[in-house]
């Protein structure tokens, strides 16, 4: 069920390179070009070591409202607090309009995910709603689970 939901459309994956040599160069237009393929990036490591984060982009609504996308982000717990989330959020702002979307709705940003709430606010997303009791999540102290509210964020993309 997870795979059908998470991988229906466009998915981007961040692979951490195993050495300090940068595999990227900037083109004359400022775009980043990757110089190595996925096999070179993985370089014999297991995927848990080198997959930092992934996200999907898909229409949030069908038909007449399919110009508005949704994205879902996953990050490996061992890769948190390293700035990877901010880099991927900027990547999302780059690719989503190029995939034809005019705006985004992030449907489920849990209020206790302070880093994510701060990040989307810093990237000019607007809180447009709050969903009460949106998720049944582990308590921060590990003493059980509790319902947590979630924010709904919206942003119209800059024209390309």
Instruction: Specify the CATH number for the domain of residue 27.
Output: 3.40.630.30
Q: Write the pLDDT tens digit of every residue in 91-120.
A: 899 999 999 999 999 999 999 999 999 999
Q: Can you point out the beta strands (E) in 16-144?
A: 24-26, 32-34, 51-59, 68-75, 103-110, 126-138
Sign of CA dihedral 30, 35, 39, 40: negative
Domain count, the chain: 1
Whole-number average pLDDT of the chain: 82
User: In terms of residue numbers, what domain contains 62?
Assistant: 2-156
pLDDT of residue 131: 98
For the entire predicted model, the pTM comes to 0.76
Q: Write the pLDDT tens digit of every residue in 53-98.
A: 788 899 999 899 999 999 988 877 777 777 778 888 998 999 999 9
């Amino acid at each position: 069920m997870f795979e059908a939901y998470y991988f229906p459309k466009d998915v981007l994956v961040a692979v951490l390179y195993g050495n300090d040599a940068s595999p990227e160069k900037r083109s004359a237009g400022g775009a980043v070009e990757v110089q190595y393929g996925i096999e070179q990036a993985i370089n014999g490591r297991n995927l848990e070591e080198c997959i930092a984060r992934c996200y999907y982009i898909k229409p949030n609504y069908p038909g007449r409202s399919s110009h508005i996308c949704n994205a879902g982000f996953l990050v490996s717990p061992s890769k948190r607090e390293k700035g990877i989330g901010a880099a991927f959020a900027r990547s999302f702002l780059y690719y989503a309009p190029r995939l034809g979307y005019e705006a985004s709705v992030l449907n489920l940003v849990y209020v206790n995910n302070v880093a994510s709430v701060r990040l989307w606010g810093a990237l000019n997303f607007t809180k447009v709603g709050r969903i009460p009791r949106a998720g049944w999540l582990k308590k921060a102290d590990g003493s059980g689970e509790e319902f947590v509210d979630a924010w709904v964020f919206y942003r119209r993309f800059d024209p390309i």
